[in-house]
Amino acid sequence: MPFGNIGIGGLVLILIIALIIFGPSKLPELGRAFGRTLSEFKGATRGLMSGDQEDDKQDKDAAQPQAMSNK
């Protein structure tokens, strides 16, 4: 059962259950915390991806002088 196919009804149900469990006063705090966590995760992912791209570029730059010296 894939979790990627949650529709509007499923989101409303999750929101109602969260409202019942945490109450209306805690829900905004949880939303902010979730947003910050997601933002940090995205930033870390971008950092890893850009680091991989920089490593690939450095590997290519290092390989070019060796290829030229072999000629």
What is the tens place of the pLDDT at every residue in 42-56?
998 888 888 766 666
| pLDDT above 50: residue 1 | no
| pLDDT above 60: residue 70 | no
Query: Where are the alpha helices (H) located in 1-71, listed in sequence order?
Result: 8-22, 27-69
Whole-prediction pTM: 0.49
How many alpha carbons fall within 13 Å on the CB side of residue 49?
6
Enumerate the domain spans of the chain: 25-61
Lookup: tokens for 71: 């000629």
Average pLDDT, the chain: 79
Predicted pLDDT at 39: 93
Cβ-proximal residues to 65 (8 Å cutoff; 6+ apart), any chain? none
